Amino acid sequence: MSKPRVAVAMSGGVDSSVSAALLEEAGYEVIGLHMRLWPEEGSSLIPVDSACCSRRDASDARRVCQILDIPFYALDFERQFQRYVIDYFCREYSQGRTPNPCIACNQWIKFDLLLRQALSLGAEYLATGHYALIEGSDHGRRLLKGVDSSNDQSYFLYTLDHDDLRRLLFPLGIHRKAEVRCIAAQKGLPVAEKPKSQDLCFVPGGRYAEFLREYAPPQTGYIIDVEGNVLGKHKGIAAYTLGQRTGLGVAAGRRLYVLAIDAQTNTVIVGSEDRLFTPRLSAGNLRFVSHRPESPVTIEAKVRYRSPLVSATLCLHDGRGEVSFDEPQRAVTPGQSVVFYRGCEVIGGGVIEAS
Q: pLDDT tens digits, residue range 83-129? A: 999 999 999 999 999 999 999 999 999 999 999 999 999 999 999 99
Beta strand 257-262 with 267-271: parallel, antiparallel or unpaired?
antiparallel
In the chain, the percentage of residues whose pLDDT exceeds 70 is 94
Give me the mean pLDDT over the 137-165 stretch: 93
Amino acid at 103: I
Confidence of residue 140 (pLDDT cuts 50, 70, 90): confident
Residue 51 makes CB contacts below 8 A (sequence gap 6+) with 37, 38, 42, 201, 202, 204
- The H or E element spanning position 260 is strand 257-262
* Residue 160 confidence (pLDDT): 98
Residues taking part in catalysis: 105, 201
* Residue 159 confidence (pLDDT): 98
* Residue 291 confidence (pLDDT): 87
In whole angstroms, what is the distance from residue 246 CA to residue 230 CA? 18
* Residue 211 confidence (pLDDT): 85
Residue 47 makes CB contacts below 8 A (sequence gap 6+) with none
CA–CA distance from 120 to each of 114, 217, 276 (Å)? 10, 41, 48
Q: Where are the domains of the chain?
A: 5-129+170-206, 218-271
* Residue 40 confidence (pLDDT): 62
Beta strand 337-342 with 221-225: parallel, antiparallel or unpaired?
unpaired
Give me the mean pLDDT over the 2-6 stretch: 89
CA–CA distance from 109 to each of 79, 101, 102, 231, 272 (Å)? 11, 11, 10, 42, 40
- CB neighbour burial string for 142-162, b if at least 16 within 10 angstroms, e if fewer: bbbbbbbeebbbbbbbbbbbe
**Residue 73 predicted with pLDDT over 90:** yes
**Residue 43 predicted with pLDDT over 60:** no
**Cross-sheet strand order for the sheet of 72-76:** 72-76, 29-36, 5-9, 125-127, 168-169
Q: What is the DSSP letter of 104?
A: H
Reduce the DSSP state of residue 324 to 3 states and report it. strand
List the end-to-end C-alpha distance of the chain, in Å, as a whole number.
55
Q: Where are the beta strands (DSSP E) in 71-131?
A: 72-76, 125-127
CATH of domain 5-129+170-206: 3.40.50.620
For 88, half-sphere exposure in the C-beta direction (CA atoms, 13 angstrom radius) is: 19
* Residue 39 confidence (pLDDT): 72
Torsions phi, psi for 184 (to 5 deg): -60, -40
Q: For the CA atoms of the chain, what is the radius of gyration?
A: 22
**Residue 248 predicted with pLDDT over 80:** yes
CB 353 within 8 A of CB 332: no
In whole angstroms, what is the distance from residue 243 CA to residue 245 CA? 6
CATH 3.10.105.10 fits 218-271, yes or no: no
CB 302 within 8 A of CB 308: yes
Amino acid at 233: K
